[in-house]
Amino acid sequence: MSVLAPIIAAGAAQYNAPMDKRLNIIYARRSIRRFTAEPLGDELIEELLRAAMAAPSANNRQPWRFLVVTDEALRRQLAEAHPHAAFAAEAAAVFIIYGEKAGELFEQDLAAATENLLIAAAGLGLGACWCGVTDARRPGIHQATGIPRSLEIVSMICVGHPAEHKEPRSQYDPARVSWQRHQG
């Protein structure tokens, strides 16, 4: 009998505990949109950047660049530039992940760095939220930050000390998994 059989039998809605406790930090990572006024120290910011840059990248290109915004006025400009990131104004720091678009896996490389930063934030007891950046949102972010338009902004992450708590969870749904071949 497969080790997955009891999980599949229980169904996604009833299964929330990880099979292996070493994965708890992944399940604890939740989108946090409310922050306290406490600033992040330079050491915490550097630790988040170190974790982000530990991400895999195609051919080890490491195409990412990071802009860290802690200035209150600039965080407010970013909150205004992104229609779904009003909370950027209250975050202690906003991380913009961008780079020179090169290679067909550029976006995936920067997405891996983004996820590493999010998991690191959860591991450090911080709250964070990934704010998606689209073609429509890029011009305002470029203008606010001074990032040249020749460089592509892939993600914006708001980070701070959380003023809200969300329980760890898994969104595992066995109905979304096929084995060996696609099964409708």
Name the residue with tokens 């915490």: 44
The radius of gyration of the chain from alpha carbons, rounded to an integer in Å, stands at 18
Residue 73, helix vs strand vs coil: helix
Is 24 a domain residue?
no
Number of domains in the chain: 1
Tell me the per-residue pLDDT of 51-94, one tens digit each, with 9 for 90 and over: 999 999 999 999 999 999 999 999 999 999 999 999 999 999 99
For helices 138-145 and 72-81, what crossing angle results, to 10°? Answer: 160
Is 178 a domain residue?
no
pTM of the model: 0.88
Tell me the per-residue pLDDT of 82-140, one tens digit each, with 9 for 90 and over: 999 999 999 999 999 999 998 899 999 999 999 999 999 999 999 999 999 999 999 99
CATH number of the domain that residue 86 is part of: 3.40.109.10
